[in-house]
Amino acid sequence: MRARIPLFLLVVLIVTAPPQSYGLDLFGRATTEFAWWQDLIERDTKFAGYQYLRLGALDVVKGRDISAFGYGRFGLNEVADPDANGRLYYLYLDWKNVWKDRMDLRLGRQWTNLVADSRIIDGAQVDFKMGPLGLVLLGGRDVIFDEFEEDTQSDDAAWGTEAYLRDVKNLNLSISYAEKYDEGDLARRMVAYDFGYTIKGLSRMYSEMRYDIIGERISEALAGVKVFPSDRWTIRGEYFYAYPTFDYTSIYAVFAASEFHAGSLFVDYYISDRLSFYGGYTAEFFVLNDAEDDDAHLLEGGVHTRIEEFRLGGSIVVREGYPGDIIGFSLSADRPFLQDKLDLSAGIDYDIYQRDEMTDEEIATKYWAGGRYHFTEKISLALHIENTQSDTQDHNFSGWSSLEIVF
């Protein structure tokens, strides 16, 4: 049985706001989007249209630092669902300084973000602040969306906690723990840390890791350092590791997965605000369970420049190794017109690729153009169109338009 949006989400603002509430500071953004594309199977044109609405309100309660935020959409996608449908992404109260300056509270549908786990919940998040330390506690109903509607089942739940350093100059450190339940059965149990340290004007070191307690293995790890030799140079080195993990109530948990390792070095060079270059190298290594281990090498580089009113960009990517090769080129340009009321842009992507050793080389080309016209500072209309050509299709036209109103 699918669970519906709890009633308290619809009345949470009313229940928590006493009669003397007044003088709301309302703001938001309404975006109307329309998209079209060619279905590769049926070879006809498909459409989708959605109305997005983001709302916020400050000073919900007089004399209290209470705000309210909401975000959702309504519309249809004739491929996913021929009937109109809606989604409520979040609707919550944000109460700062509930207890002096030592406690913040969020109540309602909200996006929670811990290094150990991130998801949407219908519930509460409490942030305790005790000098240089902070402690977050959160939990509630786990909100899951499928292609058509909300697909949360009864007893789907999630909770987590995080201890972190606050107001420590040049240092951030947090340790988090999270659990997820699928219809009452334990599906995930993760622990993680996040670390960063900055030597002002010289470098920044950072690292994070997630550990799957049920599977007894590291699921993801990242370590890196950024160095700033001068105002013109930025050098970044990183190591990344990943092992795919699934909910232990899912059938996918019984299938073998492959480890992935990557080491990279990137350099940015700023000559001026009109000219900059970047480049990088990445070595990838795949630990395959049913074959010999394999690797790949990726080189990329590009330039950004500005000539009069034109902004130009170009890049190249060369990848060789498992599971396939690619040489890709990209060029783009944009320019403002009509006293900056109109922004126009266009570009081309050209790729020569080989999917694997058993296939021949193929070529794909994408041409695109777009623009945004600002009727006022708060109302604008955007249009983007593109055409893709490849060995499997002579053309594939697609595009989208967006009317945005800020209030």
Q: What is the CATH number of the domain that holds 333?
A: 2.40.160.10
Residue 236 lies in a domain: no
In a domain, 286, yes or no: yes
Is the bond preceding residue 82 a cis peptide, omega within 30 degrees? no
Two tokens, residue 256: 């073998």
Whether 70 and 91 have beta carbons less than 8 Å apart is answered as yes
Structure confidence at residue 7 (pLDDT): 41
297 in a structural domain: yes
Q: Check residue 23 and give its pLDDT.
A: 60
Domain of residue 266, residue span: 258-391
Q: What is the pLDDT of residue 13?
A: 43
For residue 142, is it within any domain? no
Q: Does residue 289 fall inside a structural domain?
A: yes
N-terminal to C-terminal alpha carbon distance within the chain = 39
Q: What would the DSSP string read from start to end of 220-287?
A: EEEEEEEE-SSSSEEEEEEEEEE-----TTSGGGGS---EEEEEEEEEEEEEETTEEEEEEEEEEEEE
Whether residue 263 is contained in a domain is answered as yes
Q: What is the pLDDT of residue 29?
A: 97
Rounded-to-integer distance, Cα 29 and Cα 105, Å: 24
Q: Is residue 317 part of a domain?
A: yes
Each residue's pLDDT expressed in tens, for the chain with a length of 407 residues = 343 444 444 444 444 444 444 567 899 999 999 999 988 777 789 999 999 999 999 988 878 899 999 999 999 988 876 778 899 999 999 999 998 889 999 999 999 999 999 999 999 999 999 999 999 999 999 999 887 778 899 899 999 999 999 989 999 999 999 999 999 999 999 999 999 999 988 999 999 999 999 999 999 999 999 999 999 999 999 999 999 999 999 998 888 889 999 999 999 999 999 999 999 999 999 998 777 879 999 999 999 999 999 999 999 999 999 999 999 999 999 999 999 999 999 999 999 999 887 788 999 999 999 999 999 999 999 999 999 999 888 889 999 999 999 99
Q: How many domains does one find in the chain? A: 1
Helix (H, G, I), strand (E, B) or coil at 135: strand
Q: Which residues contact 294 (CB under 8 A, 6 or more apart)?
A: 285, 286, 288, 321, 322, 323
Give the containing element (helix H, strand E) for 8: helix 8-16
**What's the pLDDT score for residue 336?**
97
Residue 216 inside a domain? The answer is no
pTM: 0.86
